[in-house]
Structure 1
Amino acid sequence: MLKFVLLIAVLWMPLVWAQTPLQVRFAPEKDYGPFIYQDEQGQIRGLSWDILQAIAEPAALQIQTLPASSLASILEMAKLGQIDLISSLRPTAERSEYLSFTYPYVAVPAVLIARDDGAAVDLFSLQGKSVAVGKGYAVESFVQDKFPNIAWLAVNDDREALLLLKQGKVDALVADIASVIFIAKAEQYRQWRVVQNIGFQYQLSFAYPKGQVEIGQRLNQALLSMPLAQREALLARWLNPEQIKDAIPYSLILKYSAAVLAGLALLCALWLWRRRGSSA
């Protein structure tokens, strides 16, 4: 009887949402391509934006897009209750104090980037050296905890980090590989290389204020209902496997591939488990 009631609730919920649109304030990050960014014409673009546009109607969400800003500013706004939705975010203990998260919709590894004209380095050999990392990014606390002897420089975004590397003002930077490729291509900067897979993976989700359960329910159901072909098309549009492969040294390809495959396997398993649970 309970399963029957739950099944009716699952089937009936989209009909209720179709009749009761919910307006949400979405705060896009200004410079986190290819996931979410503002282009030269002031338009919001990226993988996360395309996914949000695809699921907004099924979730009966009316998106009010706020001015693009840095992640640090967006998180402060979230603490003050000034926004309802953030994209391209990885859960952390600190963020979970005031935010809840949907199922992840993409997974990418974080890597150490150095100039291609310098000596071979890794995070163990950079003690006392200056390494840039995004301020407020999930990877920031990870690397600070694991490598406290590095002089970590918190910057607004990965673009600033790559610019500092180009200018020789930092010895290296930590960022996700997709973001670095996107920025380097836009800036026509080629004098960089991946030197280490740091063992951290970005499983990016949408985030919403803790306690606003309905937003999460609508987003999760819409994400799970998205056709696989549509999801794959969006991923292929923004994440080019050949560009990623060309950026990774041969010695790191196996480690990188293992991280990506593990992330994809996790997402697929989660998706199938949730689908099975919904139809039980």
Structure 2
Amino acid sequence: MALHAWLALGGPAAQAAPAGPGADTGSSSSSSSVATPATAPAAADELTAAQRQWLASRQPVRFGPERDYGPFVFVRPDGQLDGLSVDMLRLVQARTGLVVAQQPAAPLRELLAAARNRQIDLISSLRPTPERAQFLRFSQPYVAVPAVLVRRATDAVRPLAELAGVPVALGEGYAVESVMRQRYRQVRWVALADDAVALAALQRGEVQAVVADVASVAFISRTQRMGGLRVDGPVGFEYQLSFAVRADWPELVDIINRGIRRVGPRERQRVLDQWLTPLAVDDGEPPAAVLWGLALLALALLAAAGLWLKRRATRPGRSAGA
């Protein structure tokens, strides 16, 4: 089957989100309110009375977008925010009446620090980790992608286990960082600002490999026309990306989860097609080194969709959108 057809079959993951006790309320400050859903009054009917009251007292919710994590969330050259996660957030807003105030886009490490200090309330495209769980709560995931090892096309194929003492780059503060550092202590890990910076360092020969999620690798390779790179294979780590909210707002997690579940299969598929298919079908031939990684991405999406459907089917007495 053609690669773009595989991508068109993908679907989002969804599973129960971590739960925990609530705490004190907080205040929201508006920077530039964005994406106020036109269907907000009707969408609010999807919520319980308590949820509507909770939202009304805290709107707008301060959303901190990551600056350069395409295709999930990134700032376009014209300064507008875009990406798969941004589209998913808009769909959630349309089904819940959630209003967000977009804060200045920043690297992930800065967003995490701001969330810890309660300067922002919401982040997208995050994988739960024990460290982040100290100050964040996570929605059910809406997409899953594998992390892969990227090398220069001229280098020999070698797994991470054989790269002792070799400089390997990854995103600073990314969920994969702590796992890789613990699992492959012999590697000389180099934490850089984001995946684009890491891949550029690989092209210049400043590092010998990069660990990044395959969708990000494909997106950067396409938009920045990076050549001469090769995806060697998965590293045994999968990003199940969720929305993250401040830890003292469990009510917002429940609202976002309700919104995710209210997004229909066709709408979810439309978002996936919009952002993943172009990575496989480029204006010209896509970089050959990236194609195998995109196949992994498609398979991960298919597996995630199957797991979600299986869990939904086996939950007794659970009504849709509950």
TM-score, normalised on structure 2?
0.77
Amino acid at match of 1:151: R
Deviates more, 1:238-247 or 1:175-184: 238-247
Amino acid at match of 2:303: A
Instruction: Report % sequence identity.
Output: 39
Which of 246, 249, 262 does residue 303 from structure 2 map onto? 262
Give the match for residue 98 of structure 2: 61
User: Does the aligned pair in 1 maintain the 2:227–2:287 contact within 8 Å?
Assistant: no
Once superposed, which parts of structure 1, at least 4 consecutive aligned residues long, lie more than 4 Å away?
17-20, 243-250, 252-260, 270-276
Query: Cα offset for 1:262?
Result: 3.0
Count of equivalent residues: 269
Amino acid at match of 1:227: G
User: Does the aligned pair in 2 maintain the 1:197–1:256 contact within 8 Å?
Assistant: no
Could you give the per-residue CA deviations for residues 217-276 of structure 1, whole angstroms, max 9, x where no partner exists? 1100010011110000001111127469954576x8987765444333223334556795
Deviates more, 1:262-271 or 1:195-204: 262-271
Amino acid at match of 1:267: W
Which of 149, 156, 160 does residue 112 from structure 1 map onto? 149
Give the match for residue 277 of structure 1: 318
Query: Cα offset for 1:80?
Result: 0.5
Distance 1:253 1:54 in 2: 25
RMSD between superposed Cα atoms in Å: 2.6
The structure-2 alpha-carbon separation of the partners of 1:194 and 1:276, relative to structure 1 and needing over 3 Å to count, comes to: farther
Residue 35 of structure 2 corresponds to residue 14 of structure 1: no
Residue 74 of structure 2 corresponds to residue 40 of structure 1: no
Residue 205 of structure 2 corresponds to residue 164 of structure 1: no
**What pairs with 1:239-254 in structure 2 (closer than 5 Å)?**
239-240=276-277, 242=280, 247=289
SS at match of 2:199: helix
Distance 2:82 2:261 in 1: 22
**What pairs with 1:201-240 in structure 2 (closer than 5 Å)?**
201-240=238-277
Segments of structure 1 that go 5 or more residues without pairing to the other structure are 1-10
Amino acid at match of 1:262: A
Greater helix proportion: 1
SS at match of 2:118: coil
Give the match for residue 102 of structure 1: 139
TM-score, normalised on structure 1?
0.88
Deviates more, 1:237-246 or 1:138-147: 237-246
Q: Higher RCO, 1 or 2 (CA under 8 Å, sep at least 6)?
A: 2
Distance 1:274 1:89 in 2: 26
